[in-house]
Chain A
Amino acid sequence: MILQIIVDMVGLGATYALLTIGIALLFGILGLMNFAYGEIIMIGAFAMYLFKDYPWFVGVLAAVVFAVVVSVLTERLAFRPLRNADPVTLMIASFAVSLALQSVMRMTVLPRTQGVPPQPFLTESITVFGIRVTVLQIVTLVLCGVLLGGLALLMKKTPLGVQLRASAENFQVAKSLGVKGSFVIMSAFAIAGVMAAASGIILVARQGAVSAEMGLTPLLIGIVGAVVGGMSNLKGAALGGLLLGMGTGLLEATLPTDLIAFRDAFLYSAVMVVLVIRPQGLLSGTKVRTS
């Protein structure tokens, strides 16, 4: 029984870690708290809906393409003109982008919630050591693992990764050395798009539905995880997301039912406390100016 809970916790933890990194990536490099990230996830999920009658990997491919394209587009159209604006202006702008994307989807292809029947193979389950594990859970873990691992590899081993990490730490100095700012930023948005697509794919499989508003909850999760784990430190953010997911899973399994609904209230109170005590996040090592 306990093992089952642990398996569920880890699955949720991985999912949340993915969400958190997507948020932390753009924050670290641009100081952008991207409200519209939830909508990129939604668009990835929408691709799954669009191709629901095709083999699963077609939807997956489409999700990545859609999400990356839209993510990069938001950079070019909305965020590039605001390149040097202060973080709050950027946050407000991302708020507007979020609403714009939601509206467009609502106006065109997603006026109502649409069901997405789960791919049959995802609902199959296998039993390992007495624990029931669905294929979906396995896929979630694999997807998250591959993406997080791939990102770590990108960051450590590729020239782009070095430039991204340098830019995340000190964009101005990086640029003064010759790092191409625009390219770095576009890459960050593209990578965030891939992460968002994966999150969208997983969410659709879990929820079985897509709607224009579905991006809000994952966005808020990502924000909490990032704030608590470490806004600009990717490792800290991933860890924060993991802990958040596992903690949420634990709370869901152990909290008396009438308190579960207040889970979010607890979480966000924790966010406020962390912001005051350690604004750079619990797991981050860097210092952040608060005022």
Chain B
Amino acid sequence: MLLEINELFVRYGKSVMALQGASLEVGEGELVSLIGQNGAGKSTLLKSIVGIAPVHSGSITYDGAAVTDKKFSVIKNRIAYVPEDRGVFSSLTVGENLRLGAVSRKDTRNIDADIERELARFPILGEYWSRGASLLSGGEQQQLAIARALLLRPKLLLLDEPTLGLAPIIVDLIFDVIEQLRDEGVTILLVEQNAVRSIEVSNRSYVMQAPGKILGSGNAKELAANEAVVDYLGFSPTGLLGDSE
């Protein structure tokens, strides 16, 4: 297992326990989804992996190493995180934003090639290359954020609600890209509210309920067999066998 999370408790401030004993694991090369309603704690889980949310108890292990250890470097371990608000720098141009994704890399020769590859994947970025990132629409900013994350050549990609608030056509584009990445061998942990599409593309999915409790997990068939999950989701994933079976 590349990423293992065990009985994670995260507490904000003195009173709010945002995650209460969440456990999940992601194998190398897998595309795993974490779905659930607003406020369930999904974002908090991602944040605790990259060290933004305070871990109260429990463990997060990546490639055998404890993530909470002070020496653990998210960058050196090639974990790329695309936050919910995308983290695009509006005072920078699209090109500057993109290049920042590679700021930690030493192999300068390959960076340009990687940038070309991302521009091919997201053509809109090339159009806006030297213009302010604030001019991009929400969907375009999302593409920029993902492209920037990919410039790290990540082993593990953490996506926090990438299709939130986006037009259906862009949602399609994003999920297409996610499937592409999965085929390219990138390990992905996808946090989403869009349960249907997520279960469709993932190897496995976890369903989370507030406050951070895992209701059930597995592929579409296994989830369909889980009554509590079907109840919570409001539908049965039986039809979603997709091509991840």
Binding site for B on A (CB under 8 A): 159, 162-163, 165-166, 168-170, 172-174, 176-179, 233, 286
Contacts and interface: CB of A to CB of B under 8 A. Distances in A.
B104 A176 contact: no
A166 B89 CA distance: 6
A173 B103 CA distance: 13
A174 B100 contact: yes
A180 B50 CA distance: 16
Given A159-B103, A176-B74, A177-B101, 4 more contacts: A173-B87, A174-B89, A178-B103, A179-B103
A29 to B, nearest CB: 12
Nearest to A163: B103
B89 A176 contact: no
Contacts of A169: 89-92
Contact of A166 (B81, B100, B105): B100
Interface string B52-95: 10000000000000000000001100000101000101111000
Interface string B134-175: 000000000000001000100000000000000000000000
B99 interface: yes
A166 to B, nearest CB: 5
Interface in B8-25: none
B28 interface: no
Interface string B113-131: 0000000000000000000
Nearest to B91: A169
Nearest to A166: B89
A72 B74 CA distance: 28
Contacts of A177: 75, 100-101, 103-104, 148, 152
B4 interface: no
7 contacts: A162-B99, A165-B91, A165-B96, A168-B91, A173-B89, A177-B100, A179-B103
B52 A172 contact: yes
A163 B164 CA distance: 28
B103 A165 contact: no
Nearest to A177: B100
A179 B100 contact: yes
Q: SS class of chain A's interface: helix, strand, loop or mixed? A: helix
For A177, A178, A179, A286, which residue has the most chain B Cβ atoms within 10 angstroms? A177
A163 B92 CA distance: 10
A176 B100 contact: no
Contacts of A176: 50, 52, 74-75, 81, 87
A170 B89 contact: yes
Nearest to B51: A176
B100 A163 contact: yes
A166 B92 CA distance: 7
Nearest to B75: A178
Nearest to B50: A176
A178 B78 CA distance: 10
B50 A162 contact: no
A159 B52 CA distance: 26
B78 to A, nearest CB: 10
A164 to B, nearest CB: 11
Contacts of B103: 159, 163, 177-179
Nearest to B96: A162
Contacts of B91: 165-166, 168-169, 233, 286
Q: Which 3 A-B pairs have the closest CB atoms?
A: A178-B104, A173-B87, A178-B75
Nearest to B134: A285
A178 B50 CA distance: 12
A172 B99 CA distance: 17
A26 B70 CA distance: 27
Nearest to A173: B87
Contacts of B83: 173
A174 to B, nearest CB: 7
A176 B90 CA distance: 17
Contacts of A159: 103
A165 B89 contact: yes
A254 B228 CA distance: 78
Contacts of A163: 100, 103
A166 B101 CA distance: 12
A106 B152 CA distance: 51
A121 B83 CA distance: 58
A162 B101 CA distance: 12
Contact of A162 (B74, B87, B92): B92
A179 to B, nearest CB: 6
For A159, A169, A176, A179, which residue has the most chain B Cβ atoms within 10 angstroms? A176
